[in-house]
Amino acid sequence: MTLRHTHKMGLSLFNRVWGGSIFVNNNIDVRFLTSLVIFCVSSNTSKFYREFRNCRGVPLASEHSSKIDGRTLSTAHKAKSSRYTPQANMGSILNHDKYSAIKSNLSKMTKGNFSLGSLDSAALWILSSKNLAVNLDILRLDALSPSSHQVQSCKGYAEIKEMIRCGEVKQGKFNKEDEAAIEKKFETLLAETGLDREELMEELFATNKGSRMLKRQLVGFYLLKDMKDGDRRLPMEVLTKLAVLLYSGSFTKEEDATILAWVDKHGATRWAELAGILDRRYLRAGQSVQTRYVELMGKARGNRQGAYGSEEFRVLIKEVMEQDAAAFEKPMEYNDLDFKRIALHMGRPRGGICNFYASSVHPTVRRHKLGTLEKDVRKDLIRQVKENGWKLSADIEYDKLARLTQFEGHSSISLYFMYQNMLLRAMIKVGKNSRREVAVDEVEEWWNKSTRFGKRASVVEKEQQIVEAYYRIKQELKV
């Protein structure tokens, strides 16, 4: 069977909405922004949505092989149900030749009275520990870029995406327990090695490459050890999460002033360098700084903010259909739109428009066309979260849920916002401080004890305006 035929069969079987893009406006906590970006990237890459690819079988590695072979995997990549989690193939990190060589070289240096830097000292201490078992299938990828799971040109990208589809890798969605486990392991590393915190942080998150990337991955493997599902985590993503925890925060007035002064002097460029000056060293910190600059400029120009009006529905839908007349005839994963151009025409931030289209406009039209616009799936959503064994919102794999027939017409992002709304109500009911702390049992308890009402009049009116705008533009463009 050809790959093209396999692809077509996959489309016919999985023609469901499953991906989304999220953007957070204004000066919001960057930890939350980054978590949303990570969530987004799990189903969205450099384009608005990536083409769906089914999990295909690959050769099995010998069960008795102790070395890492870049051409084989030890577990079959088969399409899994959302409830099935494959068992990880665990083993010593020293099965990797390069890590064996690093340990040998660093040991010789210490015996020769050479002074090791902070990262080298941490690496030698970790490699000398006898209880560090890692996922050998992830290890053999040599996916050393922090963007390996996001950027198609990075080594390991295709394999990681396959493993995510099959449930062998868990991407993003760090909850508070995960964050606490990462920070605790970092503190343990500092305590056990006696290293200076600032020196180690500087070497861990510097931009240089080479053998240091292997050592940073090694630290990532160490950090994820005590995490739930740590055996399915990407070490470089965990290391990036540590950087977010250590360096991120809301943009201050002083930082805003520094950003504006930088652009006045250097122009709107070299964002990564500016991020370093601001001591923001997490993944895509440069992009975060650039986004903040766009927000500042948008405010200065008086860009529109707040709720969208009926005329904007019409403009947005027309802009979309002029780019792709069939945009509403297919799931969102196949929408490939230029939101920068749309933003210029509408006078709104690009990310805000992208978010509104993904979370409201496209799902409304799609569900209307599928006849599911009036179907309330909240009870089904809670049930599926429980049946999959997910406790907190960060555990939920919304892309998998969006493929189920009971959620036809929804996307992962519309399901995400639906559940977030229920989390907020349950959070208020139980008196907690954050939606991240609310468990699914508490959501279910709120649901069972609450009184359900029909859609608010404002919601019904907005949906009607979106649908009417769609048909008017369709007639106007004669498509």
Q: If DSSP codes are grouped into helix, strand and coil, which group holds residue 274?
A: helix
Task: Name the domain boundary from 229, 246, 263.
Answer: 246
Question: How would residue 70 be classed by pLDDT, with cut points 50, 70 and 90?
Answer: very low
pLDDT of residue 16: 33
Domain co-membership, 348 together with 459: yes
Task: Name the domain boundary from 289, 304, 319.
Answer: 304
**Mean pLDDT score, 334-339:** 86
pLDDT of residue 340: 85
Flag whether pLDDT at 149 surpasses 90: no
Are 439 and 395 spatial neighbours (Cβ–Cβ below 8 Å)? Answer: no
**Backbone phi and psi for residue 330, each to the nearest 5 degrees, phi listed first:** -135, 160
Are 307 and 348 spatial neighbours (Cβ–Cβ below 8 Å)? Answer: no
Task: Name the domain boundary from 246, 264, 283.
Answer: 246
Domain co-membership, 296 together with 418: no
Q: What is the mean pLDDT of the chain?
A: 81
- Domain annotation covers residue 63: no
Domain co-membership, 355 together with 410: yes
Alpha-carbon torsion 139, 143, 148, 154, what sign? negative
Q: If DSSP codes are grouped into helix, strand and coil, which group holds residue 91?
A: strand
Domain co-membership, 234 together with 175: yes
Flag whether pLDDT at 64 surpasses 80: no
**Mean pLDDT score, 197-208:** 84
Domain co-membership, 327 together with 452: yes
Domain co-membership, 101 together with 232: yes
Query: Tens digits of per-residue pLDDT, 276-323?
Result: 888 887 767 888 898 888 878 766 665 666 788 899 999 999 999 999
What whole-number percentage of the chain has pLDDT above 90?
49
Domain co-membership, 270 together with 201: no
Domain co-membership, 293 together with 322: no
What is the domain count for the chain? Answer: 3
**Mean pLDDT score, 334-355:** 85
- Domain annotation covers residue 33: no
pLDDT of residue 202: 86
pLDDT of residue 83: 53
- Domain annotation covers residue 4: yes
pTM for the structure as a whole:
0.61
Domain co-membership, 205 together with 268: no
Domain co-membership, 294 together with 353: no
- Domain annotation covers residue 320: yes
- Domain annotation covers residue 68: no
Domain co-membership, 231 together with 297: no
pLDDT of residue 26: 40
- Domain annotation covers residue 7: yes
DSSP string, 157-205: HHHHHHHHHTTSS--S---HHHHHHHHHHHHHHHHHHT--HHHHHHHHT
Range of the domain at 102: 90-246
Question: What is the rounded CA–CA span in Å between residue 200 and residue 196?
Answer: 6
DSSP string, 11-72: HHH--S---------SS--HHHHHHHHHHHHTT--SSSSPPP------PBPPTT--S--TT-
- Domain annotation covers residue 97: yes
Domain co-membership, 335 together with 203: no
pLDDT of residue 318: 96
pLDDT of residue 114: 87
